[in-house]
A and B are shown apart, each in its own frame.
Chain A
Amino acid sequence: MTLLDRHIAFVEALRSAGLPVSLSEGLDAADAVLTLGLHDREGVRAAYAATLVKRQPHRAGFDHVFDLYFPALVGDPTKPVDPDADPDNEPAEMPEGAQGLGDGPADLAAFRDDLVNALGLGDPDALQTMAREAVQRFGLIRGRAEGEQRWSSYNVMNRVSPGELVDRVLQGLLADLDEDPTMRRLVEAQVAVFSEMVDAEVRRRAAEVRGPEHVAKYTVRKSIDQIDFTSARKADLEEMRREIGPLARRLATRLNKHKASRQRGPLDFRRTVRASVSSGGVPLDTHHRPRRPSRSDLVVLCDVSGSVANFANFTLMLVFALREQFNRVRAFTFVDEIHEVSDRFHPGADPIETMASLAASAQYASLWGRTNYGRAFTRFTELHADALGPKTNLLILGDARSNYSDLGIDVLQQMVKESRHAWWLNPESPRHWNTGDSGARDYEKVVKMIECRNLVQLGDFIHDLA
């Protein structure tokens, strides 16, 4: 593969990983790499990043693909470099279980001791070496074909299990374990870095055997604002929570700009004539009355049962971050009982605490703990009928999965009729609507149902709403 081919394949892979790389950017990248020279891998990475990655959320995906197409080394990292060896044949020649470095229980214990030291020191180079070694020694599994080798990060993490080492690392660093929770967080971050390195190493080895295109296709994750709420991992959820604040700020700026551009109201005759006196009676500038701000009330009903709780929380946080765009916001959560949570949001409050408080309040929304939309709607009209009015926008969040119980279509129809507009945000793909116990298609006849699976779709909807 020539350098040009590799460059083109790399750009192709970035495009399929969701980065919008244009033709001119590809040319710029080639230009930059040639200007800089190929002697330094990190330099090449910086050159590609500067020309191809124009948004920080795309950076993780870029690094991922870059490591596959421009790996730091080829073959087995624990063996001394042999310049004559043919890299294509190397993996096949190796006997199972690396020579010299065993993978028995004693070896594992020794390796874990070393890892404790490396984690304590926090030296990224040492961790990188350890990660490569760990994959080589503990990650090997038999491939499908004869002589084919594969590596599994699951095997490595399972055997080395660095998460259990956190306490030992802390013991080495601190006298008193409970003294400083921030220290624990730093060590946990180191462990996360290590496991990310192991993953990257496994991908690198896989790419050697099966080609980078194949690995890139199956392992590159989407950027955080494209990940589905329902399939997000714990780490993704934390990252999403951090995104809520900036997203709300961006939305507010956009909304304020948009509103300012519509603000010219009817002509203010008096002020115009007064101003014209200074220019000899010629009205050079016209003055206008400001438009009356038309803000609507918003009522949000959230399903907070386990499957969709995250989605409901994110949406609530976003809505309340933008509350000055609305006249009044009231929020209710439900599983099979209704519970008002409007008072749990304070301006300037800490997002983590708000989330925790919301999670704690979920118990009030649940009587028997099985989602029942029909009952929740009925209880809402019984207890909070005053919430809805001709100026109210109604927003319902949930996956419409009501455990085959009564859907309460009539009640919902009445609620929709009482409010000005009504929307239903569904975190599931329309493909899954009405599969299993989902009543999405039935509700869709009564209220407008909108797919809202990730932060991008959520942001777009909230913008149009305000």
Chain B
Amino acid sequence: MTWFDSAADAEKKLSGSGYLADQATATTTYLAGALEKPLLVEGPAGVGKTELAKAIARSTGAELIRLQCYEGLDEARALYEWNYKKQLLRIQASQGDDQTWSETHDDIFTEEFLLSRPLLTAIRKETSTVLLIDEVDKTDVEVEGLLLEVLSDFQVTIPELGTITATRRPMVLLTSNATRELSEAVRRRCLYLHIDYPDAEREHAILVGQVPGIEEKLAREIVDTVTRLRALELRKAPSIAESVDWARTLVALGTGTLDQATIDATLGVVLKHSSDIDRAVRELKLRQA
């Protein structure tokens, strides 16, 4: 199965499932599907990296399997594990029967006792699958090695069961917030996409699409203000997630327009550091000193 027919098709399908992609994002997504290569997505927090994977799954009718990475993630949590408690029960239950050891051995290393973790699940799926490896920069370097092995051939060798090869290659998305430099090897094997803050037009469209009941004028004002905030040098510039939150807040408050007093009162929704808020108040001249 092909994922998307063309870059334009990718853009159309993604926007159909509520994700407004710019041209670079749509093209790269299409290429990731067409070339069957993993896609490494980087960008500031809250610009929709994880959402892209979800949107691809929604728009193509594929199943989404998510591997959330964290410090200390190991093979047993990422790939597979034997359910040793159940195996122990099985051995104890068969005591007294005149089963030989080799029979028991063959018995306890079967499908029934295998706990499949996200990577193995994605490989074994018969239907089309999107595998999302989220925040890959949080893992240790050893897991990166494991990922390399799995993502290059899409096959896993389990000593007791043999080699399992993917019947259909899943589409793989890796997201990273760049808290750690990923290894050169991972970067080389992946396609790379940097998602940045959207331009004003696209952000406006996103707000209108994501926040039901928002007025055109309010959306325009929010986009304007957020664009101006991003031009300031802040510790954490507001991203799309924040502007959507802001829009929801203002809609919930029932304010139809964004004046100085409203900005001042709700600034905490978009800016999360006190030094950032101070700077914004000063630069936008919200409070008269």
Binding site for B on A (CB under 8 A): 20, 22, 24-25, 28, 31-32, 35-36, 40, 42-43, 45-47, 49-51, 53-56, 59, 179-183, 185-186, 189, 238, 241-242, 245-246, 249-250, 253-254, 257, 348-353
Contacts and interface: CB of A to CB of B under 8 A. Distances in A.
A128 to B, nearest CB: 15
Contact of B274 (A28, A253, A348): A348
Q: Is the interface of A mostly helix, strand, loop or mixed?
A: helix
Contacts of B34: 35
Nearest to B30: A36
Nearest to A249: B179
B184 interface: yes
A182 B27 contact: no
Contacts of A22: 188
B214 interface: no
A25 B31 contact: no
Nearest to B186: A54
A54 B23 contact: no
Given A54-B187, A348-B273, A245 B235 contact: yes
A359 B233 CA distance: 18
A333 B179 CA distance: 31
B272 to A, nearest CB: 12
B142 to A, nearest CB: 12
Contacts, number: 108
A50 B231 contact: no
A288 to B, nearest CB: 17
12 contacts: A20-B184, A24-B188, A32-B31, A42-B23, A49-B192, A50-B27, A50-B31, A56-B194, A182-B283, A185-B231, A185-B232, A253-B180
Q: Which 4 residue pairs are nearest across A and B when measured between Cβ atoms?
A: A54-B187, A46-B27, A182-B228, A350-B275
A353 to B, nearest CB: 8
Interface in B181-205: 181, 184, 187-188, 190-194
B194 A59 contact: yes
B73 interface: no
Nearest to A33: B31
Given A20-B184, A186-B227, A254-B180, A348 B31 contact: no
Contacts of A179: 285
Given A54-B40, A250-B178, A350 B31 contact: no
Nearest to B31: A32
Contacts of A350: 235, 275-276, 278-279
Contacts of B24: 42, 45-46, 49-50
Contacts of A186: 227-228, 231
Contacts of B227: 186
Contacts of B184: 20
A371 to B, nearest CB: 30
